[in-house]
Amino acid sequence: MTKPLTGKIALVAGASRGAGRQIAVQLGAAGATVYATGRSSRAGRSELGRPETIEETAELVTAAGGEGIPVVVDHLVPDQVRDLVARIDAEQGRLDVLVNDIWGAESLVTWHKPVWEQPLDAGFRTLRLAIDTHIVTSHYALPLLIRRPGGLVVEIGDGTKEYNDANYRLSVFYDLAKVSVNRLAESWAHELAPYGCTSVALTPGWLRSELMLEHFGVTEENWRDALAREPHFAISESPAFVGRAVAALAADEDRARWNGRSVSSGELAQVYGFTDLDGSRPDAWRYIVEVQDPGKPADVTGYR
């Protein structure tokens, strides 16, 4: 099989689970060497207490055909990120792809309450995890990435810029976090363009992450059983779908056409032709705008 990313070096920051894990795996499937970072390790769990680990992610990357390298990193600690990038430089001498997927604030978000009813400590921790981590990582990693033209930065968020600009997202802290991720991608695009590098904001659709599957009491194999409880879950996608979107961007010699853009996995699937694990191409954000948000009955015909 063709492996277009053979010889390429990627850093997926926040690769323990969900989108980050499968982004790392799909980059590996395309032949890349992937540094998978996060706080959840076999040596100890993060504050979330989730069982998934970066070591498991690295093993999946290698099994897919790449080389997975797990590194325990708290991306809020500058010295740890500095040391991570120094290690990549020493071992590889280059960085071709940086994916900022750090989040880890699921348990902190309070939905649909005004700011005066929001716990400030949890809110500010959300912003630290969602925004500061991405800035710290970019601060240290981008000088290595810009050594060679063609580098790619992908900011993973929730919602396209178009959607987030038009819709309030759950709470002031969540809203600010997700708007900011898209804006960071625009900032990096401005700063990277003179070096021939590209920055893109990418959002998955309704993601069948480990946490979401647990929420509905289903697995990836029987996820459709959740439709009885939430019919619109029919538009959901596996984390591999957004992983394949990142791999397609990284393999595109003309990736600079996306510089500064905010796109979805469904949109990129239409351009690059990749599919989800079941062979479909779910276009979640178009569905959300045209079907779910207007309150129409769930019907994914024409959307996947």
Beta carbons within 10 angstroms of residue 276's beta carbon? 22
Q: Are 198 and 257 in contact (CB under 8 A)?
A: no
Strands (E), the chain: 9-13, 33-38, 67-72, 97-100, 152-156, 198-203, 262-264
User: CA–CA separation, 239 vs 236, rounded Å?
Assistant: 10
pLDDT digits (tens, 9 = 90+) for 30-71: 999 999 999 988 887 877 778 889 999 999 999 999 999 999
CA distance 268 to 271: 5
Q: Record the tokens describing residue 33, joined without a space.
A: 């060497």
pLDDT tens by residue, 209-241:
999 999 999 999 999 999 999 999 999 999 999
Which amino acid belongs to residue 250? Answer: A
Contacts of 136 (CB under 8 A, 6+ apart): 75, 76, 78, 81
Residue 1 pLDDT exceeds 80: no
- Residue 258 Cα to chain centre, angstroms: 17
What average pLDDT does the segment 279-299 reach?
Answer: 97
Q: Over 70: is that where the pLDDT of 190 sits?
A: yes
Cα angle 100, 70, 255 (rounded to 5 degrees) comes to: 35
* 128 vs 51, higher pLDDT: 128
Mean pLDDT over 8-28 rounds to 97
pLDDT surpassing 80 at residue 77: yes
**Long-range contacts for 212-219 (Cβ within 8 Å, ≥24 apart)?**
212/236
Per-residue pLDDT of 129-188, as tens digits, reads: 999 999 999 999 999 999 999 999 999 999 999 999 999 998 999 999 999 999 999 999
Q: Which of 174, 272, 287, 303 is catalytic?
A: 174
Q: Is the pTM of this model over 0.85?
A: yes
Flag whether pLDDT at 104 surpasses 90: no
Catalytic-residue membership of 174: yes
The mean pLDDT value of the chain amounts to 96
What sign for the dihedral angle of Cα 38, 41, 45, 51? positive
